[in-house]
A and B are shown apart, each in its own frame.
Chain A
């Protein structure tokens, strides 16, 4: 476990935002500081391979982990999250997914994010500004299965809400796990209702599962009103409620 933590400290110290475009530093990530966060426009767009099953949208996997006891700001949130990679086809998705740990086996305070390529898993992103998310809290042991079902539904365009879906997050916490799906327009009730209904269907949830919708503006307010903004409080609304 020790070296895992060490590695993560390295992650936090500035080696972030690995992406599809910077293939060269995948093996030697610690030197790979050449790509800065803002350069999304420059990134190479993922394309489906020959004979592969293309997805409606390209997506990116992200991973974030809370560093205990570290004061944080928006910058440090951004620096704590790193992109794992982008894909454009079903086969490419499985390439990433099969080589990633299942969320239920993650330790500590960490999250997987799967967002459409070009949308950062942050409230501040243009696509998310007016948006919100459905939150489902899960008891321990369900996260892996629910996460897989959730992202397969998203990739397979099962939500049928046009371009509304932004991405999905699974947050591993101490006593529970949380999955959420983000959409663009929080005020669009028809869309949010349809997302909720699809969630119910695809996740095969027990009937008493509580689902909660939260707008990102509410989440931001919660942070701003908080006396001591820290990484954890800043991040908590994203994942915890």
Chain B
């Protein structure tokens, strides 16, 4: 913060005017943008502070300590770099004068060719991206898991994995000397999108004193990361016994050599160019974008644009779209997100189902961020370079992600209708998926989709739910849900002999509004009722089905809405509506809307057990009949017990009951005589569900997030599944019941994501992460 204040304080007005005129000459259409961008820098910084502080506090409070109060120093350092010492260093740097920068400059610059070389390799690698390689990656990841990683360098260490991987997968050794030839900032920016010409020294020397400081910070950061990379690289290499290990070592050595063999004089020349480079960097990317991407849509000139251009980070205006992007492109997702194998008996990746007579399948849940919503809420994505926000960029990345994991079932949210019909559906159909789509009601253009591989599942039934009910106050929103019943397909010739029970797949995207938990609750009740009905129908046919419920619930873990799903009941009466989802703490608000019983009027046709009122009678009959003849283990669910509360036999006072005034002289409350008929203060359901994710990174106390944008990062997406019952109780027959979680694709912490510049990014096409889990049935 101090640094940025100094920065803007020192910024000479002449420089500003100079910049404007420069831009005018070079790129007339962006003049005003650039001009404003420079001048309004302070605004965006302040904004950064505000949002970032909230994020930071949240992040810090995931530890043991109490939520941190605002510490500007820390936040400046951590917000972007997660490295307080580095932050301090950089601030010091700003205060220091030119000669220090002279020293620092070369060090920084010498790292750049490495980045560049890696970036190119990465791109080459990703463009091939065939399956065999993916397997290799998985292998690599496991190895890297075991490799000791420096504890205090957590954020950078994954870089090292990445680095290692690139080197590893490379067929021909890279040519570091070649890269080191042109050690200038230019190669730093070399990528299709960010091609920047070698800047000419057209700015006066007085500019340097002001302009080079942010540049130095950029470079410092790179250096730090690079150092860490090398550090962990060497460590990670040791346990590796791959065929490529020799190559890898050679390459690493070569890279080090390349970075070391840079002549300081040459570097300093480029250092002198920093000023002009900076000004270039702020304009060129816009200019050099492919036409299709920039023309599809654009931000109007205004605060949103300023902030995009003027990256909301303390350290440097240029950093948001600065060089490293070329390195990250298309690679992080693979490396940062590890597959967590949760099956005790480690089954190999290939053909687990065939060999074990069990049915394995994977489910992905993914909120892909509808383009219309993105454009309507641009303030959430000010940290992103414009190009990663364009649908033309995001769509191929989405498809790439689907192809990479090839989930058997794909549940999507925020699927824009025209994108679905014109692009997604055809692409998915080509991949062998059958798709079911439901657009949100009203004027909304997006909706949910469930796609499943036709050779793995056959459709049994499908219901498309609309949560909008004109006659109900809490059901006045346009959200939808899909409930499918799928029959696993037994491939002819395989050894899967047992007929697997059907699978109920449900997905939804509940209302976002953090203040209206009551609406979310009501919507969820509708969805649960449909699932309950589907499950019940299959049970009648004799085969209890398994359930997978996934989607974007717009509620954070362990808050009431989540509890209703996992604990099957919730006492909601009197809860503040914001608390139900827990997305934001609005407890400070003077007036708090609360939810009161009954949540739903009778006209909706759903009771407080999240069941359709029409099937209640038969259902309770069924429960009673399965319970009573079992003498071995007399288990009763709470709701069943409560159902007998005012039965005839229970209303007679026991003769032997002593009369203790004030204690045993109560007569049953006549108001509660007909509990079934009215909607009570507790909401419950019968679907046994458990989250496939733990919401914390494996083995740490770092909270995972499934969504992240400039205002908030949180877990709001889930894959819930009906787990295998440890005991045979509950009256259900057969050993079919329940799914076993075999593994899942790890999520990332907010910190990790911010270190990759948040979401969406060049790698992650949405502001949500995909959730992926593998289950076993049978």
A binds B: yes
Given contacts A29-B658, A94-B644, contact A156 B638 (CB under 8 A): yes
Q: A132 an interface residue at 8 Å Cβ cutoff?
A: no
Question: Contact at A91–B657, with CB atoms within 8 Å?
Answer: no
Residues of A with C-beta under 8 A to B660: 7-8, 11, 63, 82, 84
Given contacts A23-B655, A145-B571, contact A53 B644 (CB under 8 A): yes
Chain B 545-559: CB-based contact to A (< 8 A → 1; otherwise 0): 000000000000011
Question: Contact at B729–A160, with CB atoms within 8 Å?
Answer: yes
Partner of A26, one of B641, B657, B661: B657
Partner of A91, one of B637, B650, B653, B667: B650
Question: Contact at A155–B636, with CB atoms within 8 Å?
Answer: yes
Question: Contact at B642–A152, with CB atoms within 8 Å?
Answer: yes
- Among the 9-residue stretches B604-612, B627-635, B745-753, the one with 4 or more Cβ atoms under 8 Å from chain A is B627-635
Given contacts A95-B649, A204-B567, contact A158 B659 (CB under 8 A): no
Distance between Cα atoms of A160 and B637 in the complex (Å): 13
22 residue pairs bridging A and B, Cβ less than 8 Å apart: A4-B662, A7-B661, A49-B649, A52-B649, A56-B635, A82-B658, A82-B660, A85-B656, A85-B657, A85-B658, A91-B649, A92-B654, A94-B647, A98-B645, A98-B651, A100-B664, A100-B666, A101-B666, A156-B640, A156-B641, A157-B634, A201-B566
Given contacts A99-B668, A204-B567, contact A20 B641 (CB under 8 A): no
Most buried by B among A19, A82, A91, A92: A91
Residues of A with C-beta under 8 A to B649: 49, 51-52, 91-92, 95
Q: A180 an interface residue at 8 Å Cβ cutoff?
A: no
Question: Contact at A156–B637, with CB atoms within 8 Å?
Answer: yes
Most buried by A among B628, B658, B662, B664: B658
Question: Contact at B650–A20, with CB atoms within 8 Å?
Answer: no
Query: A210 CB to closest chain B CB, in angstroms?
Result: 15
Closest to B574 in A: A141
Chain B interface, >50% SS class:
loop
Closest to A91 in B: B649
Q: A34 an interface residue at 8 Å Cβ cutoff?
A: no
Q: A90 an interface residue at 8 Å Cβ cutoff?
A: yes
Closest to B657 in A: A85
Query: A46 CB to closest chain B CB, in angstroms?
Result: 10
Residues of B with C-beta under 8 A to A90: 636, 641, 644, 650
Q: Which residues of B contact A (CB under 8 A)?
A: 558-559, 563, 566-571, 624, 627-628, 633-638, 640-642, 644-647, 649-668, 726-727, 729
Given contacts A26-B659, A94-B645, A107-B662, contact A156 B636 (CB under 8 A): yes
Number of A-B residue pairs having CB atoms within 8 Å of each other in the complex: 146
Query: B583 CB to closest chain A CB, in angstroms?
Result: 15
Question: Contact at B638–A98, with CB atoms within 8 Å?
Answer: no
Partner of A95, one of B566, B636, B653, B658: B653
Query: B113 CB to closest chain A CB, in angstroms?
Result: 50
Q: A202 an interface residue at 8 Å Cβ cutoff?
A: yes
Partner of A53, one of B559, B628, B665, B667: B628
Residues of B with C-beta under 8 A to A8: 660
Residues of B with C-beta under 8 A to A238: none
In order of increasing CB-CB distance, the 9 nearest A-B pairs are A94-B650, A156-B636, A91-B649, A23-B656, A56-B634, A98-B668, A18-B658, A207-B558, A4-B662
Given contacts A94-B645, A153-B638, A157-B634, contact A100 B663 (CB under 8 A): yes
Distance between Cα atoms of A106 and B664 in the complex (Å): 11
Distance between Cα atoms of A91 and B185 in the complex (Å): 82
Query: B658 CB to closest chain A CB, in angstroms?
Result: 4
Q: A217 an interface residue at 8 Å Cβ cutoff?
A: no
Q: A122 an interface residue at 8 Å Cβ cutoff?
A: no
Partner of A85, one of B568, B628, B654: B654
